[in-house]
Every structure is written in C-alpha cells, then in structure tokens.
Amino acid sequence: MRRFGELITWLGVLWLGQALFASAAWAYIDPGTGSYLFQLLMAGLLGAVFAVKMAWRNVKTYLASWFARHHASDADIH
C-alpha cells in the first residue's frame, strides 16, 4: 500500500516536473507567487496521497484491533 502511495507521488511529481521545465523562463522573481501556485498545482496530488495514507492507517488500526480482540478471546477460551 505504501508502495502504491509512493507510485502515485512519483507519477504526480514527474508530471509537475514536465510542466515546470517545459515552460522554462527566467524572470524577475516574486518569491511568494511561485510558492502559492506550486502548492495549488500540488494540491490534487497531495490530497490523493494523504487520502491513501489515511485509508491505509485506518485499515491497519482496524486489523490491529481485530487481531487484539481475536487473541484476547483465544486467551479467554484457554
């Protein structure tokens, strides 16, 4: 699952890199503008990766509690 998240990130980052380097133009730098737009450009990607991570964490938490309950009930039987 973690690998899947990393794959999505890589594909997104490669797309971003292509977009940025294809339109290369040196100009007077307004440092805030680029950072602001860069976040917006990354937003979809970051949101998707975050959603995948959260879902995976929820699955892990559920499985951990299920196994804990399962072991506890086994212990009660024995």
- Binding positions for another protein, rule: CB under 8 A: 6, 9-10, 13, 16-17, 20-21, 23-51, 53
CB-side neighbour CA atoms (13 Å) of 58 = 6
* Residue number, 29 or 77, with CB nearest to another protein: 29
How far is CA 33 from each of CA 22, 24, 39, 40, 52, rounded to the nearest angstrom? 19, 16, 10, 11, 29
* Shortest distance in whole angstroms from residue 72 CB to another protein: 32
* Residue number, 31 or 76, with CB nearest to another protein: 31
Structure tokens at 38: 């860069």
* Shortest distance in whole angstroms from residue 65 CB to another protein: 23
